[in-house]
A and B are shown apart, each in its own frame.
Chain A
Amino acid sequence: MRSNRVAIAALLLLITMIICAVLAPFIVSHDPNEQYTSVLLSPPFWVEGSHADFILGTDDLGRDMLSRLIYGARYSLFLGLAIVVIALFSGVLIGAVAGMKRGIIETVILRLMDIMLAIPAILLAIVIVAILGASLINAAIAVSIVLLPHFVRITRAAVITELNKDYVLASQLDGSKGSRLFFQTLLPNISSPLIVQSTLSFSNAILDIAALGFLGLGAQPPTPEWGTLLSTSREFIELAPWTVTLPGLAILITVLASNLLGDGLRDALDPRIESST
């Protein structure tokens, strides 16, 4: 029960963040790229010498940190969602083909996924970005490719288990086959592990996008993506520590919330695993 409450709190937090991100232009009082040159590196409100107009302070170019963080949420959250949707859809399709066709197609798909999993996630993403060129969209493509194998494996394993069950046989005798059998009969019954994996992939996507941004391979300045914010403010760590602590805190809170939600969903959707909390 405790785990459920925590998961619901995490879900509410994520929803609030998404609403803030969507409504960013109506919430923030400053343009995220506007440079107030008279208030460079102004500290946040809890530090002495802060400026009343900039409650979370400003960065080295006098841009409002709060506005940049809220606009940054757009990149992290929406890209995270987009990445998971792409990885989920393509992963489910490939996994379904592997699980239903079996034979040589299945072997080839599984070996290919093994290969992708043997290359450390960030490294594979870095190589893909290096080839496609450093940009936010390419980073998103790279991360969805990296997350793909997990969905393929889960879908295939689930399809194979379900195919042996009576209700599937009944549906097959009724003339259902191919994509109709999969989408109408199988998919609703294998959705639990996919939902859990999607939530956990969401947190991985946010972390990976931020890491690529931090390495200069994702979003490019002045885009206020959280990882990019961290990499540009890194040199001011001594002078203005808040420009480093705040974007990282935003990443941590988002990832933590989505992991809590994932854990809660797993406990709720998978009765076989006894609650771990």
Chain B
Amino acid sequence: MLQILFRRLLLVIPTFIGIVALTFFLIRLAPGDPILLIAGEHGVSAERYAELQQQLGYDRPLFIQFIDYLWQVLHGNLGLSVVTQTPVLEEFTSLFPATLELSLIAMLLAVLIAIPAGVMAAVKRNTIIDHSITTISLIGYSMPIFWWALLLILLFSVNLGWLPVAGRLNFLYDIEAVTGFMLIDTLIANDRGAFVDALHHLILPAIVLATIPLAVITRMTRSSMLEVLRQDYIRTARAKGVSEFSVIFKHALRNALIPVITVIGLQTSILMTGAILTETIFSWPGIGKWLLEAVYRRDYPVVQGGVLLIAGLVILVNVLVDMLYVLVNPRLRQ
């Protein structure tokens, strides 16, 4: 088993270097001279241009520049934002908790609803319950979430006035950032009003972000459960007189969840995609909004570093999911 994991980890290295290379060369294809961009609109003299070129290393061969960039990345140096002059990694780490908090709540919401719904649909196969759950999850799966977000805003914020439209917290509250998780920070500050307010701000973005994973996990749980319920050992359990509840939740669900775990892990990529749209619509101060703004401003170091960090995160989670898969699947454990 250790050997499988080790080989899996080794494969990560070329993939990661590949991503560094892809982002590095993609950004070099972008129009516009990066030196002129840094020097500003007023233009530069030829001497100053050469000086900047040398200072930034643009006078060296592209391949050497790449090796240098890779070396810097491995040392945690992703360069400075052209706009704010702050290190990219620093900006990322300060905004990442907002995205993580939103993603975790959304994922929790999705899993808590999807697994019972999927089990229910499989157990009540071909009944009205099954058809309703399958139809709703297919609609959720097909949903343009940016439109879904606007619909929810229209209903809950504009018409009913129940929930806020944007941000993480009303500006009336001043909460010290300890963990970066607003729900935890407001609890640490022992400010009940702020906690409730933060929760209110979370509801709509979390629902929007949870929609696609919810649909995908429901569909997966259902089909995995149907697969397992057909197996001989389930028939044996029933023949032995094991109660139906026990057959479903103790015998079937445990095995049915194995592929579901993989699917849950694969949602990281979907969550990051969703975060870009959701954060932009709800003005959620996370990395999705940050990255999109960097694209608008042509802040290439941020785009390059941000893509790298998000891709690294996706790879990391995939490896963790693979490990978890080996741990929960007894057939792979020996």
Contact = CB atoms under 8 A, between A and B. Distances in A.
Interface of A: 111-112, 114-124, 126-128, 130-131, 133, 203, 207, 210-211, 214-217, 227, 230, 234, 237-238, 241, 244-245, 247-248, 251-252, 255-256, 259-260, 263, 276-277
Contacts of A130: 30, 295, 298, 303
Contacts of A112: 18
Q: Which of A115, A116, A121, A263 gathers most chain B CB within 10 Å? A: A115
Interface stretch (B35-43, B167-175, B250-258, B272-280): B272-280
Given A123-B273, A244-B154, 5 more contacts: A119-B19, A120-B310, A127-B23, A130-B295, A277-B134
Smallest CB-CB A-B distances: 9 pairs = A248-B147, A255-B142, A115-B18, A256-B142, A120-B273, A122-B273, A120-B272, A130-B295, A131-B30
A195 B117 CA distance: 30
A147 to B, nearest CB: 14
Contact of B158 (A131, A210, A215, A237): A237
B317 to A, nearest CB: 10
B292 interface: yes
B146 interface: yes
Contacts of A259: 138, 141-142
10 contacts: A111-B15, A117-B269, A119-B22, A122-B277, A127-B26, A131-B29, A215-B292, A237-B158, A245-B151, A259-B138
A142 to B, nearest CB: 11
Contacts of B298: 130
Given A131-B26, A237-B154, A252-B139, A215 B277 contact: yes
- Among the interface residues B141, B277, B295, which one has the most CB atoms of the partner chain A within 10 A? B295
Contacts of A121: 269, 273
A276 B135 CA distance: 12
Contacts of B323: none
Contacts, number: 129
A237 B150 contact: yes
Contacts of B134: 277
What does DSSP make chain A's interface, helix, strand, loop or mixed? helix
A238 to B, nearest CB: 5
Main secondary structure of the interface of B (DSSP, over half): helix
Given A207-B144, A241-B154, A115 B27 contact: no
Given A126-B292, A131-B26, A115 B143 contact: no
Contacts of A123: 272-273, 276, 291, 307, 310
B28 to A, nearest CB: 9
B138 A260 contact: yes
A126 B318 CA distance: 22
Contact of A126 (B27, B226, B295): B295
Given A118-B19, A122-B273, A252 B150 contact: no
Interface in B261-302: 269-270, 272-273, 276-277, 280, 291-292, 295-296, 298
B223 interface: yes
Contacts of A216: 296
B14 interface: yes
B15 A210 contact: no
Nearest to A277: B134
Contact of A230 (B15, B146, B158, B291): B146
A119 B139 contact: no
B100 interface: no
A244 B311 CA distance: 33
B204 interface: no
Interface in B204-225: 222-223
A251 B276 contact: no
B305 to A, nearest CB: 12
Contacts of B29: 131
B314 interface: yes
A211 B138 contact: no
A111 B298 CA distance: 29
Nearest to B230: A274
Given A131-B30, A237-B153, A245-B151, A119 B144 contact: no
A118 B273 contact: no
A211 B311 contact: no
B43 to A, nearest CB: 23
Contact of A115 (B22, B150, B269): B22
B150 to A, nearest CB: 5
Contact of A118 (B15, B142, B148): B15
Contacts of B303: 127, 130
A253 to B, nearest CB: 9
Contact of A238 (B151, B158, B222): B158
B142 A252 contact: yes
B31 interface: yes
B315 interface: yes
Determine which residue in A118, A216, A263 has the highest number of CB atoms from chain B within 10 A of its CB, and name it.
Answer: A118
